[in-house]
Chains A and B, each alone.
Chain A
Amino acid sequence: MHRIMRRRGALAVATAASVAALAACSGGGSGEVEDSATPAAEETTEITVGYAAGSLDAYLEAMFDRVESELGVTVTPVVYPTYDDQLNQLPNQFAAQTAPDIILWDNAAPVAQYATEGVIQPIDGLVADAGVDLGAYPQALVDGWTIDGGLYAVPSYLQNSAMIFNLDVLSAAGVADVPTSVEELGRVAQQVKDETGNAGIVVLENLFHLTQYVLAFGGGWDYGRTIDSAENVEALQWLADLYGTGAAASAQQLGATWDGEAIAAGTAAMSDGGPWYVGFMAGSAPDVKYEMLPIPGADGSGVVTTYGGGFSINAQATDPQTAMDVVKVLTDATAQEAIVSMEVGFVPAMTQFAADYRGATPQYAAFTDEVLGSGRTLDYPLQTAEFGNALVSGFQALVANPGSTTAAELLADLQEQFGQ
């Protein structure tokens, strides 16, 4: 509200100053400039869109141009250098009322606290009025953006978890078939360690990645209701035991800043990952043979988490209606198609266009509409950041001093702190 006013005020001052400068330079012959510049600054509606810089830059700029030509709305980007910076900056910006009108999130995990604190708004009504068809998206994706019964974002792109297998390392270890259950996963990891000396599984130790193993064992957090479930305990203990023999290792231990570097370098055979591996492997390790499949589950079936990026609307936005119009353009069929045609490296959120991506990307073949549609959502406890810190630190302590504590103790403790 007053933020936009202030910005416009600044713009007017800037315009006046530049006009004055022009006038001074050209000796007063710039009456035309003055006339045309001033009204223009007042007429255009301006909307700010916040996002983290990265592979989406060119795509988003193209979409902002569409917004301008189709709606006559000027989009001012608010760019965070990385997604981490976005998460660090947004709370200050909300507090100072400088947060952007529209926010692109990479996933729904951090959004719950923004929604419950009421700083981003539920958009069910706006979405219905704008005629956005939520049936066009995999159900898991819509569920992921639904918090306490309200929808908080329109999906833009889709991410899913997967297991990545470096086939070169596996065959060097004498493994012919990739594992299809968690038991096999553990056995193969050990075999890789014994035969090649490399880690079987590499883990980037954060909430998302540890969660994938919990889900593989049939567990989950259920927003804090089942933190200490038997499946969760089993999963973490299993993983910690693999660390004990060297069959599993953290990305850091392997000298990698994230798991993909270890897979590309062949210092580990398997990792949980996702579609972002496709672009990375093509660029960094074009000769490495790898496969991407659903994560082997406890009962032999594949487990996948379906989540992804979406646009939310700031509760302080002056003009939610216009913001919604902009979001609609940013997520419509043309925008979805462009994700594939501009080779952004992301999977479009709409089922129809995800199929186009699959057609163009052989490595992604296993992730059919059915697999993605029935994928799990991220069901972290509400205090997501606190829980993630405690879980990861606790897990690292478990790995460092196997005798001193157990996964059961850790999760019981976390249940008490973060459970509901």
Chain B
Amino acid sequence: MLTPAIVLLAWWFVTPIVQSVVLSFQQVSKFRFDERTFVGLQNYSELFADDAFRRSLGITATFVLFVVPAQTVLAILVAATLQGVARGRTLFRTVFFVPYMTSTVAITTIFMQLFVKGGPVSSTLARFGTPDVTWYADTGMALIFLVIVYVYMFVGLYIVIFVGGMESIPASLYEAATMDGAGVVRRFWHVTLPGLRPYAVFVVVAGVIQAIQVFDQAYVISGGTVLGSPAGATSTIVVFIYQQAFRLNAIGYGSAATVVLLATVIIAGVISRRIAPKEA
């Protein structure tokens, strides 16, 4: 049963990824990939000395730390609110999912209009003390802007997954809890949340993996100017990799950055597996 998946994975994922790993030890001619020289760890040593790279790791970590808790909690709360609504349920779920299905370019463009200096959202928030600037063009606010756009786009996906998860919780558990006199909050806490456990694992793991790879939104706000604008404030790790591989044709160097990213995440994963209560 695994065979088709393994064959396809091996050919279309593992092979090119292994090639990337090999490339990370090589210096590759810009336009002739067969002209390569083995340079050992040179790409890596340059990488660790590269402020732009270290900065992109930090930016990505910050981004993930904001995005994942925000979208997970928001999605659970909305899904729980939707639980019990019979009429309009399908409509709500569709509506919540619309941003995820809409193109990133469109959503980001629209949010840019909302968060421009003097725009509807930015000027409202300015009354509560945020600086009155164009968020995505301000070095201090641009990353927060990306977090907002990103959570907005992805929360619908996770709502749908949690709604699906709640449907799989046996009704008998709710009945038993109600008999025991549990209220809405306690039922949520003692029945819904434990029942959602496998789904929550999926949402957090998938959420981290996807958030690390944030790229499209940063790409859109840098349209016409350099990637990572303003002043590198949105230069996430994938922006950095893309910049090296596609804009500067430094394929070996970009591949080294990929390997470092991969290693970091795997190590983080192993550690969290050790620490976290066993599940999965």
Contacts and interface: CB of A to CB of B under 8 A. Distances in A.
Interface string A227-253: 000000000000000000000001111
B139 A396 contact: yes
A393 B134 contact: no
Given A254-B116, A255-B113, A396 B231 contact: yes
A206 B246 contact: no
Contacts of A88: 246-247
Contact of A253 (B30, B109, B134, B247): B134
Interface string A376-401: 00000000011011001110110111
Given A117-B31, A388-B226, A253 B246 contact: no
B224 interface: yes
B223 A91 contact: no
B231 A117 contact: no
Interface string B236-247: 000000010011
A94 interface: yes
B117 interface: yes
A257 interface: yes
A252 B30 contact: no
A385 B247 contact: yes
Given A255-B116, A386-B248, A396-B139, A94 B32 contact: yes
A80 interface: no
Contacts of A389: 226-227, 243, 247-248
B131 to A, nearest CB: 12
A255 B32 contact: no
Contact of B224 (A94, A96, A258): A258
Contacts, number: 92
Given A88-B246, A114-B31, A392-B225, A400 B134 contact: no
Given A252-B137, A253-B117, A206 B30 contact: no
B229 A396 contact: yes
B134 A252 contact: yes
B248 A385 contact: yes
Interface in B164-181: none
B156 interface: no
Interface in B1-55: 29-33
A91 B225 CA distance: 21
Main secondary structure of the interface of A (DSSP, over half): helix
B190 to A, nearest CB: 48
B221 to A, nearest CB: 7
Nearest to A257: B223
Nearest to B229: A396
A113 interface: yes
Given A117-B29, A393-B232, A396-B139, A250 B248 contact: no
Contacts of B31: 91, 94-95, 114, 117, 119
A205 interface: yes
B228 A393 contact: yes
Nearest to B30: A117
Contacts of A250: 137, 225, 230
Interface in B153-171: none
A173 interface: no
A295 interface: no
A204 B231 contact: no
Nearest to A113: B30
Contacts of A257: 109, 223-224
Contacts of B231: 393-394, 396-397, 399-400
B117 A255 contact: yes
Contacts of A253: 117, 133-134, 137
B136 interface: yes
B243 to A, nearest CB: 7
Contacts of B112: 255
Contacts of B138: 400
B119 A252 contact: no
* Residue with the greatest number of chain A CB neighbours at <10 A, chosen from B112, B113, B247: B247
Interface string B126-159: 0000000110111100000000000000000000
A67 to B, nearest CB: 27
Nearest to B109: A257
Interface of B: 29-33, 109, 112-113, 116-117, 119, 133-134, 136-139, 221, 223-232, 243, 246-249
Given A254-B116, A254-B117, A257-B224, 15 more contacts: A91-B30, A94-B32, A114-B31, A205-B226, A252-B137, A255-B112, A257-B109, A389-B227, A393-B228, A396-B139, A396-B231, A397-B231, A397-B232, A400-B138, A400-B231
